[in-house]
A = this chain, B = another copy of it.
Amino acid sequence: MITVHTIAALKEQLAIFRSTTQSIGFVPTMGYLHEGHESLLKKARNENDVVVLSIFVNPSQFGPNEDLDRYPRDLERDLAIAKKSQVDIVFAPSIEEMYPTKMKIHFLAEEQSKVLCGASRPGHFEGVLMVVTKLFHLVSPTRAYFGMKDAQQLAIIETLVRDYNFPLEIIRGETIREEDGLAKSSRNVFLCEKEREEAPALFQALVLAKEHFQKHRSVIDAIQKATEHVTKNTNAKIDYLQLLEYPSLAEVTEDSQEMIVAGAIYFENARLIDNQIFNVKGE
């Protein structure tokens, strides 16, 4: 495994691999790797000749009052996990390497970025599109892997790739959970003991909403169920609980087939998100 910190070194390493290999699997992350990332790396390892992992806490996707400064970082630990996952190249650039000058051209994502996390984090997905586009151009992967825990991010990146004809395939990775259902997240480390005990209520609430909707087809009632469950079982503040069409993230209509029920809740030092994606007919 080779770890590089500059674009020049990344290109040099990729050129060596490119001369002899067919496919590059790419897993872009903000580091502080957990089993969710590991499962993406495993998928990438199985499906490609070369696996590239990027570790970059991207400032352009954090709002001014968000947790950029205290986002957890531990490169040494990440490199050990990467090695264990048989990664070939780790790209861990500095902010200056990724943004040497002020960006003069930005993305504007429409409907898909106005709901769910986009409503509470204005500019977040535009920042994601910015860094993902840069990384795609730097790595030129055959396949890029994104976890379904960040379902809105996944939907928007799928739109980006389709709208702009990126020559690569987006692969969805299942959400990986703790035994009690809590979705694995780098931010779980910010939960105190009591919050950690309450946290699975988000997952439970989303499952309740999904099942209620599949049975009764009422968005309002399903969300009501989920809200009650979170309120009763946690001291967290609800950011949103919403049931939408997926991946368009439009309002549910009679014609909607694929759905998402997604939620975000604030604990003292961590904002957690989770979702259930399901077909109206059953799973």
Please tell me if the beta carbons of A137 and B163 are within 8 angstroms of each other in the complex.
no
Q: In the complex, what residues of B have CB within 8 A of residue A170's CB?
A: none
Q: Tell which of B107, B112, B162 touches A107, judged by Cβ atoms closer than 8 Å.
A: B107
Closest to A165 in B: B137
Please tell me if the beta carbons of B104 and A163 are within 8 angstroms of each other in the complex.
yes
Q: Write the A106-142 contact mask toward B (1 if CB under 8 angstroms, else 0).
A: 1111111000000000000000011001100110100
Q: Does A103 contact B (CB under 8 A)?
A: yes
Q: Does A30 contact B (CB under 8 A)?
A: no
Closest to A111 in B: B104
Near B by CB (< 8 A), chain A positions 38-83 give none
State the CA gap A137–B160 with chains docked (Å): 12
State the CA gap A106–B156 with chains docked (Å): 12
Check A105/B107 contact, CB under 8 A, given A7-B165, A165-B138: yes
Please tell me if the beta carbons of B106 and A164 are within 8 angstroms of each other in the complex.
no
State the CA gap A103–B107 with chains docked (Å): 12
Please tell me if the beta carbons of A108 and B107 are within 8 angstroms of each other in the complex.
yes
Q: In the complex, what residues of B have CB within 8 A of residue A130's CB?
A: 164
State the CA gap A179–B147 with chains docked (Å): 60
State the CA gap A156–B134 with chains docked (Å): 17
Q: In the complex, what residues of B have CB within 8 A of residue A110's CB?
A: 104-106
Q: In the complex, what residues of B have CB within 8 A of residue A112's CB?
A: 104
Distance between A60 CB and nearest chain B CB, rounded to angstroms: 11
Q: Does A159 contact B (CB under 8 A)?
A: yes
Q: In the complex, what residues of B have CB within 8 A of residue A165's CB?
A: 7, 134, 137-138
Q: Does A166 contact B (CB under 8 A)?
A: yes
Please tell me if the beta carbons of B109 and A108 are within 8 angstroms of each other in the complex.
no
Q: In the complex, what residues of B have CB within 8 A of residue A101's CB?
A: 162-163
Q: Write the A1-43 contact mask toward B (1 if CB under 8 angstroms, else 0).
A: 0000001000000000000000000000000000000000000
Q: List 16 A-B contacts (CB under 8 A).
A: A7-B165, A101-B163, A104-B109, A104-B111, A104-B159, A105-B109, A105-B110, A105-B129, A105-B156, A105-B160, A106-B107, A108-B108, A133-B164, A137-B164, A138-B167, A140-B167
